[in-house]
Amino acid sequence: MREFDLAVIGGGPAGMAAAVAAKKKGLDNIIIFERDNVLGGILNQCIHNGFGLHTFKEELTGPEYAERYADMVRELGIPVETGTMVLNISPDRVVTILSSGRGVEDIYARSVVLAMGCRERPRGALGIAGYRPQGIYTAGTAQHLINIDGIMPGKECVILGSGDIGLIMARRMTLEGAHVAAVFELMPYSGGLNRNIVQCLDDFGIPLKLSHTVIDIKGKEKLEGVVVAEVKDGKPIPGTEEYYPCDTLLLSCGLIPENELTRSCGIAIDPLKNGAVVDDRLQTSIPGVFACGNVLHVHDLVDHVSAEAAKAGESAAAFVRGGSAPEGRVIKLIPKNGVKYTVPNSFTAGSLDDEPHIRFRVTGIYKNAAVVIKCGEKELFRRKMRVMIPSEMQDLAVKKDVLAAADADLEIMTEGDIS
């Protein structure tokens, strides 16, 4: 059986950054398994710009950003096996892989970084009534069809869901000659970044209709149109129905971390973020197995993915070299009112970074509110936040001493009203 110090599952931005960081920390025997034929993951089809402002201090396209990391992987001599699908990971880190060249093979890894990314929520999971004709695609599938395969899904388009890929595709479809009637969003706020609403909708005169959803799909074999209604408390308001003729319906209604391998390995999943439960080193409930990127929780910016993944890679290197568990008490971080989830789920008092990061999302729009961390009744940390919206991941750097002062589990919450 082939043996590796670190097996990275997935060669997208998270996997590449993790491998690069582990290598820089002195780990030598690394392998990246990638199911596609090239590195880069979903970035390869994200040909728009806006990537890399944090990481490289310049604005890159998705493929350019991916190429920067692929170059690092090459320059550092990290082996990559593309066209390779990971079928299973056992709790003792035997990884079963499949490829045309090698067939089905077990390898042993002293550490594993999970970087499988996420997938889009399909129409079926949305429970929209109506027919199931040709012409309904998730925004990412449409993005692949246009940007990689060079074919247009249709000419008259409606977009349901205001996730970032949906907003990006509203612009893309328009630039490629289609007409995008509107973007409809079930929630009273957008699921995507503000800059994408401005650059992809406003600049092209595409309306964003909040608190609206598709309630019926017409056309048995080919999509003919959708019925849209205004929504209150999650229910369509009778009398607000409007028919939009279209041949294409794109869905951008949420991303789901691809944790099938994680689950079958027996790793504990945090249902609040649909990703693994991790400590401050991004280690999962199985020692030596780390998680990062969109398989851990869905990110808005690839720059954040790279930063998080580097941490996972460094932790894997430390695990392989040290082997021992970090010292000290485990302090749990529990999301309370207004905070949807956190990464990490816990800290180990003895091994805290100088400025540990807490990443989280809020459950509604907060203006002039605060984030508070409490230990019992005692307030350990407070920061005023001008605006917090669900579509933007929050990233708090907290002084080590603050957390080390905890003598019991911590609670993190918002203070202020949803606006």
Partner 1 sequence: MVDVTVIGAGVIGCAVARELTRYCLDVCVVEKETDVCEGTSKANSGIVHAGFDAKPGTLKAALNVKGCGMIPELARTLDFAYRNNEALVLCFDEAQLGGLRELYDRGIANGVEGLELLTPEQVREAEPALNDVAGALLARTSGIVCPFEMTIAFAENACDNGAVFRFDTTVKGITRDGSLYRILTDKGSFESRYIVNAAGVYADTIHNMVCEDKMKITPRRGEYYLLDKEVGNTVKRTIFQLPTKMGKGVLVTPTAHGNLMVGPSADNIDDKENTATTSGGLASVKERAGLSVSGIPFGKTITNFSGLRAVGETDDFIIKESAENFIDAAGIESPGLTSAPAIAGYIADIIVKKDGLHPRSDFIETRKGVKHFAALSREEQNELIRNDPAYGNIVCRCETVTEGEIRDAIDRTLGAKTLDGVKRRTRAGMGRCQAGFCTPKTMALIAEKYGIPLDSVRKN
Pairing of strands 136-138, 118-120: unpaired
Task: Please say which residue, 74 or 102, places its beta carbon nearer to partner 1.
Answer: 102
Q: Which residues bind partner 1 (CB under 8 A)?
A: 35, 83, 85, 87, 98-104, 119-120, 122-125, 127, 129-134, 137-138, 140-141, 144-145, 148-152, 215-217, 220-221, 260, 263
Task: Please say which residue, 4 or 137, places its beta carbon nearer to partner 1.
Answer: 137
Smallest distance from the beta carbon of 242 to partner 1, in angstroms?
16
Task: Please say which residue, 214 or 352, places its beta carbon nearer to partner 1.
Answer: 214
Smallest distance from the beta carbon of 290 to partner 1, in angstroms?
22
Smallest distance from the beta carbon of 156 to partner 1, in angstroms?
16
Smallest distance from the beta carbon of 71 to partner 1, in angstroms?
26
223 in Cβ contact with 133 (< 8 Å): yes
Task: Please say which residue, 1 or 151, places its beta carbon nearer to partner 1.
Answer: 151
Name which of 238, 316, 218 is nearest 5 in CA terms.
Answer: 316
Task: Please say which residue, 102 or 336, places its beta carbon nearer to partner 1.
Answer: 102
Task: Please say which residue, 25 or 218, places its beta carbon nearer to partner 1.
Answer: 218
Smallest distance from the beta carbon of 121 to partner 1, in angstroms?
9
Task: Please say which residue, 101 or 177, places its beta carbon nearer to partner 1.
Answer: 101
Smallest distance from the beta carbon of 220 to partner 1, in angstroms?
6
Smallest distance from the beta carbon of 48 to partner 1, in angstroms?
19
